[in-house]
């Protein structure tokens, strides 16, 4: 038997195997993507909280902003961006962020409370009262009591 056809067949099989394996893309597991996103959020938060210079802190804030633009439906990102908006006195933006959190996860009662605080800072007590009333209806326990106490102070 001649070697040429045998070598050609083996080379053909190797080439076919190479083409097949290079064209098959590994599927990324959603859990892996989520953990990677969680790690990115933690890294950005670490840069903000532990930044030794304003530049390092700004790097973390820009990371968070980039992530929130890339993943607008991530409640944790929107939550953190809402808190940063409050810290910088951008209460209108904070309200919008907390509204987004609530639209993504209506059980994030802390977002209702922070939205009420933001409305209070904007001197929009009517909206703050509405948010607190909704929170009182939906929650129970300590959160409900905190909302009732805050609502009482606004009257």
- The secondary structure of 75-136 as a DSSP string is HHHHHHHHHHHHHTT-HHHHHHHHHHHHHH-TT-HHHHHHHHHHHHHTT-HHHHHHHHHHHH
pLDDT above 60 (res 27): no
Q: How confident is the model at residue 59 (pLDDT cuts 50, 70, 90)?
A: confident
Residue 68: inside a domain: no
**Residue 123 falls inside a structural domain:** yes
Tell me: pLDDT of 10 over 90: no
Residue 55 lies in a domain: no
> What whole-number percentage of the chain has pLDDT above 70?
77
Q: Would 153 be classed as within a structural domain?
A: yes
Report yes or no: 97 and 85 within 8 Å, Cβ to Cβ.
yes
Query: Which pLDDT value is given to residue 106?
Result: 93
Q: Compute CA distances 140 → 8, 76, 93, 107, 143, whole Å.
A: 75, 22, 28, 11, 6
Kindly report the average pLDDT of the chain as a whole number: 84
Residue 117, in any domain of the structure: yes
Answering whether pTM is above 0.75, one says no
Check residues 140 and 31 and name the one with the higher pLDDT.
Answer: 140
Query: Quick one: pLDDT at residue 36?
Result: 86
Domain that holds residue 98: 91-155
Res. 31: pLDDT tops 70: no
Is residue 91's pLDDT more than 90?
yes
**Per-residue confidence at 49, pLDDT binned at 50, 70, 90?**
confident
77 is a domain residue: no
Nearest to 77 by CA among 59, 58, 97: 97
User: Is pLDDT larger for residue 82 or for residue 11?
Assistant: 82
pLDDT at residue 20 in the model: 64
Look at residue 1 and tell me if it is in a domain. no
Structurally, how many domains does the chain consist of? 1
């Amino acid at each position: 038997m001649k070697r040429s056809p045998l070598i050609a067949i083996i080379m053909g099989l190797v080439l076919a195997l190479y083409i097949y394996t290079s064209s098959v893309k590994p599927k990324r597991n959603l859990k892996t993507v989520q953990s990677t996103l969680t790690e990115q959020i933690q890294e950005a938060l670490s840069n903000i909280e532990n930044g030794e210079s304003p530049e390092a802190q700004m790097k973390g804030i820009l990371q968070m902003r980039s992530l929130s633009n890339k993943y607008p439906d991530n409640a944790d990102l929107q939550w953190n961006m809402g808190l940063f908006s409050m810290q910088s006195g951008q209460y209108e933006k904070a309200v919008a962020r907390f509204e987004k959190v609530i639209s993504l996860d209506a059980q994030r009662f802390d977002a209702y409370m922070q939205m009420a605080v933001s409305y209070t800072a904007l001197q929009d007590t009517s909206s703050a009262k509405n948010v607190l009333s909704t929170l009182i209806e939906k929650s129970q326990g300590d959160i409900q009591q905190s909302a009732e106490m805050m609502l009482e102070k606004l009257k």
